[in-house]
Amino acid sequence: MKPLARRTAALGLACCALVGLTAVSGAQAFAASGTGTGSTAATAFPALDPAALQAAIETRPSDNASGAVALVSEPGQVWKGSTVDSQTGRKIPESAHFHAGSISKVFETTVILQLAAEGRIDLDQTVQHYMPGLLPDTFDPITVRQLVNYTSGLPNVDEGKPPASADETIADRYDYRTFDQIIQQTLRPDDGRPAPGPHFAPGTKQEYNSLGFRIAAKLIEQTTGNSFKDEVTARILNRS
């Protein structure tokens, strides 16, 4: 793999794994002075130790990563930190953008459940009802509930497509596909690949799946008239 490819791919992995890293190192990241004998909020959340937190995210030779960006938040206190890029030696900006990955599924499911509580989506109604023609006729009725609890039986995103190399991933890193494009390019590929069918009858098994969440996100946008980004931001990220 080329150095640029290795560096960029590793940085993405580091960012995705950061939550686990800070959780494992959390016990060392609190100042010892915060362990008093009282039962106040101050003792429940002792002061963050910036030096310990920075040490926890520093890149080590065995990490197979080029750097990390972190934010740790406790009631009344926030710490931000980043490392240098192990390949270039440059400091990684604390505001650097990175791919959020599958944590977005949690946000998406929350919005779906909120819309269900508002009576705007029926979890037991089908995709075929809400979006006729979206799924090929080879698929049995799939409910909204099955989309977000991994029991839809849908194929995964771009199933059957040869995996992209790290260099190809980096070259295409600024490309953007709409939910419609992802769904159609997966279920009705136009590059000579056979169209993938269902993995199993809906509701009979559970299997990790990303395509169902692209379909659920499209349903969120169709139901609200707003972008998925705007709904998640307003309903979750900007809530006080």
Give tens-digit pLDDT for 101-144: 888 999 999 999 999 999 999 999 999 999 999 999 999 999 99
91 forms beta bridges with: 84
- Element counts in the chain: helices (H) and strands (E): 11, 2
Per-residue DSSP letters for 140-199?
Answer: PP-BHHHHHTT-S-PPPTTTTSPPPPHHHHHHTTT----HHHHHHHHHS-SSSPPPP--S
Q: Is the pLDDT of residue 158 over 90?
A: yes
What is residue 151's predicted lDDT score, i.e. its pLDDT?
A: 98
- Provide the b/e sequence for 99-113 (b: ≥16 CB within 10 Å): eeeeeebebbeebbe
Domain segments of the chain as ranges: 3-82, 101-237
Q: How many CB atoms lie within 10 A of CB 96?
A: 11
Q: What is the mean pLDDT of the chain?
A: 82
pLDDT at 35 over 70: no
Asked if residue 25 has pLDDT above 50, the reply is no
- The confidence score (pLDDT) of residue 221 equals 98
Mean pLDDT of 208-236: 96
Q: Please check whether the domain covering 101-237 is classified as CATH 2.60.40.10.
A: no
Contact 229, 240 (CB under 8 A): no
Q: Which residue has the higher pLDDT, 123 or 174?
A: 123
What pLDDT sits at residue 76? 87
